[in-house]
Amino acid sequence: MEKSAIILAGGSSSRLGQDKGLILLGGRPLIQHVLDKTHGLVDETLIVVNSQSQTETYRKALGTETAIVSDNSKTHGPLVGASAGFRLASGKYSLLLSCDTPFVSKEILQLLLELCVNKNATIPRWPNCYIEPLQAVYHTEFALRAAEEALASGELKMQAMVNRLRNVRYVSTLVLEQLDPSLHTFFNVNTILDLKKAENILKSKRTRINDIHQ
């Protein structure tokens, strides 16, 4: 198997007061918007949650055919979830995503997958050098090793894993703007205000599509 997608859905969602990935946007859970964008790009998709109860909740919401796994760790965070995903992924390369980015660009994901061949990671990077490690592609084996080394050292940030990787290709967001001029691909929903902004973005996108087809 060549390509996997790992979607992290184990965050606490404290600012939203409910499970972030299952909040409705346009009548569908946030995570479903992300799932749709991975369709046709990868050979398998794994959703990583942080407890058995969350596993059951997601299975009820998304259906029994969706692969949902728990990181089974007392320590939570993106790196813990990523490590669990890398450990279970069958693909040589893994596309790592967050459940709260409903406008992730399929074209950008495809480009990142293509650019990761013979690299240990392909990661978007802003002009200020800020990176987007949760919308990136990793060589599964090497990323797992780097993640486990970081966690063993007590480091919980994604940057700790990235720092341990060699042969990383960074892709400028200035390049990605050619595929997604607004860069809404990186817009994530953390608050109620973000959700309202997402609703407006979704309406705008649907209006634009309708105008094209008229």
Q: What pLDDT does 18 receive?
A: 76
Q: Residue 158 and residue 142: Cα distance in Å, rounded?
A: 14
Averaged pLDDT for residues 55-63: 89
Q: What pLDDT does 50 receive?
A: 87
pLDDT at 60 over 80: yes
Domains contained in the chain, CATH given: 3-213 (3.90.550.10)
Cut 0.75: pTM above it: yes
Q: How does pLDDT run across 146-191, given as a tens digit for each residue? A: 999 999 999 999 999 999 999 999 999 999 999 999 999 999 999 9
15 C-beta neighbours (distance < 10 Å), count: 13
Q: What pLDDT does 15 receive?
A: 61
Task: List the end-to-end C-alpha distance of the chain, in Å, as a whole number.
Answer: 41
Averaged pLDDT for residues 71-100: 91
